[in-house]
Chain A
Amino acid sequence: MRAGDRIFQNLTTGAGIFIVALIGLIGIFLIIQAIPALRVDKVNFLFNHGWSTNDPENMAFGIADLFEVTVATSVVALIIAMPVSLGIALFLTQYAPKRLARGFAYVIDLLAAVPSIIFGLWGILVFAPAIEPFSLWVNSTFSWFPLFAPGNVQPNVRGTIFTAGIVLAVMILPIITSLSREVFERTPTPHIEGALALGATRWEVIRTTVLPFGKAGYIGASMLGLGRALGETIALAVILLIPQGRNFDWSLFDGGATFASKIAANYSEFNNATSAGAYIAAGLVLFVLTFLVNFAARSIISKKGD
């Protein structure tokens, strides 16, 4: 092999190795920084609900509340985004005229190009006031149901998990939609033609060929959306109100903080190595969480194979 070839191949292979090593490095550096803080943590890191890092001599922080709020907002977002994305993906592949479909797909992708801080500010300044009557109605009508009980940030019902979940749903729509669309597009034509030849209506074609074929891909895409939702930072830091006193209580009208929004909102505490370590420990948990979700999602998608 010529020298130029060898150098070039090594260079590109090195870049590949660098990427593989990078994920490991992220984990290692976060662990190293988190350990000193975890050592001086006075409470159980995984199961305690409190978070107090103001006094480096007396650290007591647990991630239970962060974990619950992170999961709650993401699940609300997913429950809203999944059916809508499915509808859009079906619309783009099965209903919209070919020529329009491309333009429409571009419009949906534009949603992904909007910076998340803009979504956050729109969510709290414009969207939340607009749906306040609806939030109040849900809150008062269904308050017997724990999920809709009065939360810990009463009474204005704005910076709640309810609001945050809806905005988050909008933010993860494009990723679920674009991946599902790709999968649905690959439905074998003979299957569709066969169903049509049997006299199936358009909905029956979708139910009998497109959905069974694309199911795994759609689930994988939704999990990627979940991964995105778990890690969303600034939009949630802007929207979610931090409650005074009471912890998260599994009501959608609670406020709170997710892993990401907690870290982003408290950047000023990074001046101290020990309290910074506490936030890095929380970040490490978020990293592991998103890693597992993305790992599962990619496995599902690649198992289907192309």
Chain B
Amino acid sequence: MSTTLERPATTPAFQQVSLTRKAKNGVATVLVWLAFLIAVVPLVWVLYTVIVNGIKRIPFSNWWTEDFGSVLSDEVGGGVLHAIVGTLEQGLICAIIAVPIGLLVSIYLVEYGRGKLAKATTFMVDILSGVPSIVAALFIYALWITTLGLPRSGFAVSLALVLLMIPVVVRSSEEMLRIVPDDLREASYALGVPKWKTIMKIVLPTAMSGIIGGIMMALARVMGETAPLLVLVGYSAYVNWNPFDGEQAALPLVMNNERVTNSLDPGSVGFDRIWGAALTLVIIIAILNLLATLLSRLLAPKKK
């Protein structure tokens, strides 16, 4: 929309707008503003709930350095170190697998993809982004645990998260690669640089800042998933550094576990733990988003 449309004309051609038309326009304006306000209310309300209720526990240093293993389930104290370790480990392993695959797919779609396979790939990425997290979890359960006979573990969770992360990475990277100007590629070809080197040395670095931003956002998104945790790993109140074996906690799992095992009256231990874990998760997501912004600024191609 061009700027001329913001204020149509200082003197409208039609001076008389009938009352009903005016009224309809007024009603529509009010409704549209109302719709926006309706959407803002739950966001503010949810964040307010998380911050006000979560702030009670997390300023204490033991929240960040201890687990719940040494305290009773209805006892004040302990911390969520076990869950932070799990969330970060599972997220990191997921990223290590999902990022290269997602990047390769987006490079295929932008640089090589023509014809039926490219169309099918685009379509399947869209479908994959609509696969419910519980279905991804069941698939990994069927593949990893039933078929291959491997144990439930943090790594199995990572595998399910990979399915959820890939489509987000592909979408955002594809968008970034597409806005790299063709002049750059052509200049590189003209100098006799092979296509793959052009992509690796020219195209990718140019788009890198945006790609990293997209990856961070995708990572933040999958770290909040709960369904794969329920199906693919057991909850442990102790720190478990080994993602390949044994039960391992994660922040959403702490929330779910407290919900199931504790009383949830406002002010009770379970209530405080739930919102403390929620605030911790929100803080981690916020830090990832902040890092994304910082990194994209640092890596942005220099303009002269």
Which A residues fall within an 8 A CB radius of B? 2, 4-5, 7-9, 11-20, 22-23, 25-26, 29-30, 32-33, 83-88, 90-98, 104, 107-108, 110-111, 113-119, 121-122, 125-127, 170, 173, 177, 185, 187, 189, 192-193, 196-197, 199, 201-204, 206, 224, 227-228, 230-234, 238, 259-260, 263-264, 267, 270, 273, 276, 279-280, 283, 286-287, 290-291, 293-295, 298
A21–chain B nearest beta-carbon distance, Å: 9
Give the distance in Å from the alpha carbon of A85 to the alpha carbon of B38 in the complex: 10
Which B residues fall within an 8 A CB radius of A? 1-6, 8-9, 12-14, 17, 21-22, 24-25, 27-29, 31-36, 38-40, 42-43, 45-47, 49-50, 101, 104-105, 107-109, 111-113, 117-118, 120-121, 123-128, 130-136, 138-139, 141-143, 146-147, 163, 166, 170, 194-197, 199, 217, 220-221, 223-227, 230-231, 252, 255-256, 259, 264, 266, 271, 274-275, 278, 281-282, 285, 289
B118–chain A nearest beta-carbon distance, Å: 7
Among candidates A13, A96, A113, A295, residue contacting B285 with C-beta atoms closer than 8 Å: A113
B21 surroundings in chain A (CB, below 8 A): 201, 204
B52–chain A nearest beta-carbon distance, Å: 10
Tell me if B28 and A202 are in contact (CB < 8 A): yes
Q: Ordered nearest first, which 6 A-B pairs have the shortest CB separation? A: A87-B35, A231-B132, A115-B224, A199-B14, A8-B196, A15-B104
Q: Can you pick out 29 interface pairs between chain A and chain B where the beta carbons lie within 8 Å of each other?
A: A2-B194, A13-B112, A15-B104, A16-B113, A17-B121, A18-B101, A19-B166, A20-B120, A26-B163, A30-B139, A33-B142, A33-B146, A91-B36, A107-B43, A108-B43, A115-B225, A118-B224, A118-B255, A121-B255, A170-B39, A201-B25, A204-B24, A231-B132, A233-B134, A234-B256, A263-B138, A280-B142, A283-B135, A290-B130
Give the distance in Å from the alpha carbon of A86 to the alpha carbon of B34 in the complex: 11
B289 surroundings in chain A (CB, below 8 A): 113
Tell me if B130 and A19 are in contact (CB < 8 A): no
A192 surroundings in chain B (CB, below 8 A): 1, 5
A18–chain B nearest beta-carbon distance, Å: 7
Question: How many Cβ-Cβ contacts under 8 Å join chain A to chain B?
Answer: 277
